[in-house]
Structure 1
């Protein structure tokens, strides 16, 4: 275990011990707000019931995301209704999947598709994952053997994607994608899965495994808040820019009731 310390501490704050964990695929679930607050800042609506599982809906109401920790096996479910030429699709991800990897897919839901053809395997090859062919089936495995991405075709020619991670005790998670899941979303997931960047977990939230490496760091609450706000601000800025492109013309007609009554305080 290595130790480090962030610079620029403020007066009156008590530093907290956290750990940078790698490989990220074995870091455990993490704080689901990493996913939900980014979507909220991107215009998604929170449809959760009090005391119930997380449920969020995209601005166009086509995509729904849920996180349920109360059932077995529990975890993340993303479903989309059919839109134009895109058939309905789904993705199911286990609850021990790190939120940073889940966000690879969910963040991509808030962005426009790239003009380039998606390549699920490219991010894995860039990080030197091992590849294996078995007829029409294809598997990529992380260098340490703990994470994988698997592709196969069923008897009808439908593409089946399966991913996940396991430590030496068999603890871990899996993810499955519908044959109709857009490939740019699967690529965004694989890029987050293969990223060599460690993820941060607070003390007491680091899984016990000989397969992970940790670096102890002291972090101020204000620093954690600043990092979280930077991510939320980026989502808001991207949403504002996207809406500006879609609606470039400024409002030219006065709003109704623009007189003194418009300045009443709202609770």
Structure 2
């Protein structure tokens, strides 16, 4: 597309006011499509009910990511069945957990696991979170004091991961992970939680908080759509590459134009 064509394409658009919010942990929930459209592009199945909870299931049916805004307190539930080398695990996050932080966890579920040994605390320490180790615990708190992450084990041996964010105005959320949650998943969450990058929210969707900083920006709807499509296309490309790499080499190659994938809307 030529430059003058792009200018004409946006001629009928009106820029909309948005805000870059930091720290991201107090930005509010955001648009759940940021998570679910990525999972759809990775081949996950939409199991949502009409006028009910949203839910997507992994291609092997072992993991379910659900969001229910219709109950109190509502929010996210990620459940993984037990497998040959992995115990059952559950993660629950409040409805005001920013989708960009939740996506740190859910994106990791849709990608191959890294060969590197996971370290949950490294991303927090890299961002200068304060860490300490009282008896039976490992705590980390963000520099501004609004977000935390903790591993706790009680005297009976029961353990869990606990995280979240809050301020004096009552904004906030919590997240709980069973101790059996894979470490690479918890690390993906802690990386997204500690990221210094602000997140964007539309006007009217920014929490009133003395702890957040905002920067006003003007954004065209087509820009928002393009940014989302870039994320989705990256997921589709990576998913297709993995499928092609794992496809049996003895399989007959389909004739050109005979294979089509219908996108579910």
Q: TM-score, normalised by structure 2?
A: 0.91
- Displacement of 1:170: 3.0
**Equivalent in the alignment of 1:4:** none
User: Structure 2: how far apart are the matches of 1:146 and 1:48?
Assistant: 33
Question: In structure 2, what is the equivalent of residue 64 of structure 1?
Answer: 64
User: 1:43, 1:239 → 2: CA distance?
Assistant: 8
Aligned partner of 2:214 in structure 1 is 214
Q: 1:123 — aligned with what? A: 123
Counterpart CA distance in 2 for 1:102 and 1:129 is 20
> For the structure 1 residues 233 and 254, does the alpha-carbon distance in structure 2 shift closer, same or farther, using more than 3 Å as the test?
closer
C-alpha contact (below 8 Å) 2:171/2:209 kept by paired residues: no
| Residues 62-100 of structure 1: CA deviation (Å, up to 9, x unaligned) | 001110001011000000111111011110000000000
Structure 1: where are the runs of 5+ without partners? 1-7
Mark the CA change 1:214 to 1:249 in structure 2 (over 3 Å): closer, same or farther.
same
Check the 8 A contact 1:79/1:89 in 2, yes or no.
Answer: yes
Deviations 1:8-42 (A, max 9, x none): 86322110000000000000000000000000000
- Out of 239-248 and 197-206, give the one that drifted further: 239-248
Assess, with a 3 A threshold, how the Cα gap between structure 1 residues 227 and 253 changes in structure 2: closer, same or farther.
closer
Contact conserved, 2:169 with 2:208, CA < 8 A, in 1? no
Kept in 2: contact 1:131–1:138 (CA 8 A): yes
Offset of residue 248 of structure 1: 5.2
RMSD (Å), alpha carbons: 1.8
Q: Which residue of 1 aligns with 2:114?
A: 114
Secondary structure in structure 1 of the residue aligned to 2:180 = coil
Match of 2:105 in 1: 105
Matched length: 251
SS at match of 1:215: strand
Contact 1:66 1:77 in 2 (8 A): yes
1:17-32 → structure 2 map (5 Å cutoff): 17-32=17-32
Shift in Å, 1:156: 4.3
Q: Deviations over 1:154-176 (max 9, x none)?
A: 33434310000001223200000
Alignment TM-score, normalising by the size of structure 1: 0.90
1:251 Cα offset (Å): 3.6
Cα distance per residue 1:171-198 (max 9 Å; x no partner):
2000000111000000000000000000
Aligned residue in 1 for 2:232: 232
- Equivalent residue, structure 2, for 1:147: 147
The CA distance in 2 between the partners of 1:16 and 1:166, in whole Å, is 28
Q: Secondary structure at the match of 2:133?
A: strand
Structure 2: gaps (5+ residues): 1-5, 261-265
Deviation at 1:133, TM superposition (A): 1.7
Instruction: Report the counterpart of residue 263 of structure 2 in structure 1.
Output: none
Once the two structures are superposed, the pairs formed by residues 4-83 of structure 1 within 5 Å of their partners are 10-83=10-83
For 2:102 and 2:253, the matched residues in 1 are separated by: 43
Q: Is the 8 A contact 1:38 1:232 kept in 2?
A: yes
Contact preservation (8 Å) 2:136, 2:154: no
How far off its partner does 1:226 sit? 0.2
1:188 paired to 2:178:
no
